[in-house]
Amino acid sequence: MDNSVGKAQNLKKRYYVDKPGTEIKKQNRLIWAKARSVMEAGNYKYRKYGEKVRIKWSLFGLLIRIFGVLLKLTPFFKKGFANAQNIVLNKVDLYFDDLPAGFEGYTILHMTDLHLDSLPEMDKKICEKIDGLKVDLCVLTGDYRVGTRGGFKKILDMLHQIVPCIQQRDGIMAVLGNHDTCAMVEPFEMAGITMLVNETIDIDRGGSRISVTGLDDPYYYYGEQSLQALKESPEGFKIALVHAPSLFDLAADNGYSLYLTGHTHGGQICLPGGIPVIRHLRYGKKYYRGVWHYAEMTGYTGQGVGVVGIPVRFNTQSEITLLRLHRKK
Ligand SMILES: [Fe+2]
């Protein structure tokens, strides 16, 4: 396998309107960035079905801080902190009726909710965990930092370390999460990551084709461009990259076979048996972790590489996922 960073020779980019071309891409991104930056500044959550909710973090944040301080006084904090830093590589096989023959055994390295500043030396830990691993494609499904505002130089520096560690054939594709800003798109692309902003890319393999559509975050920043991108994607085997599971029904209605997502951290702090206390989801709550199915579509919700709030995990795992796609016999 010829693995070389930034080389994505099997890709053909489409845009959410059916008129491929640089000017269209620039124009669409400008329209999107303008809308996104207004939403970011307004401190509102914009969700599908027209819902717009003022972000009320003060009380929730205060409760988390109090809980965190109390937890630090107990031996549980040390245990939870160690759990959070123990990143596992989960290997998951997925089976499809409609996977093109050329993609049998296709491997996707999925990392979500990296929150690279949440724990010490996250870039080194990630590189160690994927050392020697060769994959066809790498996808990142958002939330690269802990905060939701301010600069992101440290995050960018760490991504510059991580990107060369990823041995892939068809590129690194990524979407934004609710902790991210539209200002990340260009510098991330310069770092060797293909950002999908309500856009679709085709991947060809031996005469077969699949396509990957990446949407903007639907938890805070849902916009009609996301739905448009889903509707105007080509027929065939389609993968959706979305930060949160909440667009599961729209993706299935538009013929997607696979939906890769995160945001929930698998609950991060769960009761014994992995029962989540908080999932941070309004739609698709039951799809908060692992493999799931809706109509004809399969979904995978990663538990996240990093953490937020209190830097601990209980009854969940910090996870990097190696997905392998198969045709059903
Ligand atoms: Fe998130």
pLDDT at 171: 96
Contacts (Cβ under 8 Å, ≥6 apart) of 236: 98, 100, 209, 210, 211
Distance of CA 68 from the midpoint of ligand 1 (Å): 20
- Least confident window among 31-40, 60-69, 278-287: 60-69
pLDDT at 9: 53
pLDDT at 11: 62
- Give Cα separations from 194 to 11, 98, 106, 265 (angstroms): 11, 26, 19, 24
Q: How far apart are CA 130 and CA 105, in angstroms?
A: 18
Query: At 154, which amino acid appears?
Result: K
pLDDT at 61: 74
Query: Average pLDDT, stretch 55-77?
Result: 80
Which pTM value belongs to this model?
Answer: 0.91
> Taking 70 as the threshold, does the pLDDT of residue 263 lie above it?
yes
Residue 10 burial (10 A CB sphere; 0-12, 13-18, 19+): middle
Query: Average pLDDT, stretch 262-266?
Result: 96
Q: Which residue stretches of 131-236 are H helix? A: 153-162, 185-190, 224-231
Distance of CA 298 from the midpoint of ligand 1 (Å): 21
Which range has the top average pLDDT, 6-10, 52-56, 273-277?
Answer: 273-277
Query: Average pLDDT, stretch 210-236?
Result: 94
pLDDT at 52: 75
Q: How far apart are CA 81 and CA 313, in angstroms?
A: 7
Distance of CA 264 from the midpoint of ligand 1 (Å): 7
> Taking 50 as the threshold, does the pLDDT of residue 3 lie above it?
no
Mapped onto helix, strand or coil, the DSSP state of residue 4 is coil
Q: How confident is the model at residue 69 (pLDDT cuts 50, 70, 90)?
A: confident
> Taking 60 as the threshold, does the pLDDT of residue 293 lie above it?
yes
Sheet holding 194-195, edge to edge: 87-96, 318-327, 107-111, 137-141, 172-175, 194-195
Q: How confident is the model at residue 294 (pLDDT cuts 50, 70, 90)?
A: very high
Q: How confident is the model at residue 2 (pLDDT cuts 50, 70, 90)?
A: very low
Distance of CA 159 from the midpoint of ligand 1 (Å): 18
Q: How far apart are CA 291 and CA 156, in angstroms?
A: 30
Q: What would the DSSP string read from start to end of 112-144? A: ----TTSSTTHHHHHHHHTTT-EESEEEEES--
Distance of CA 243 from the midpoint of ligand 1 (Å): 7
Distance of CA 98 from the midpoint of ligand 1 (Å): 30
Distance of CA 178 from the midpoint of ligand 1 (Å): 5
pLDDT at 55: 63
Domains of the chain: residue spans and CATH = 11-327 (3.60.21.10)
Distance of CA 319 from the midpoint of ligand 1 (Å): 15
Distance of CA 148 from the midpoint of ligand 1 (Å): 10
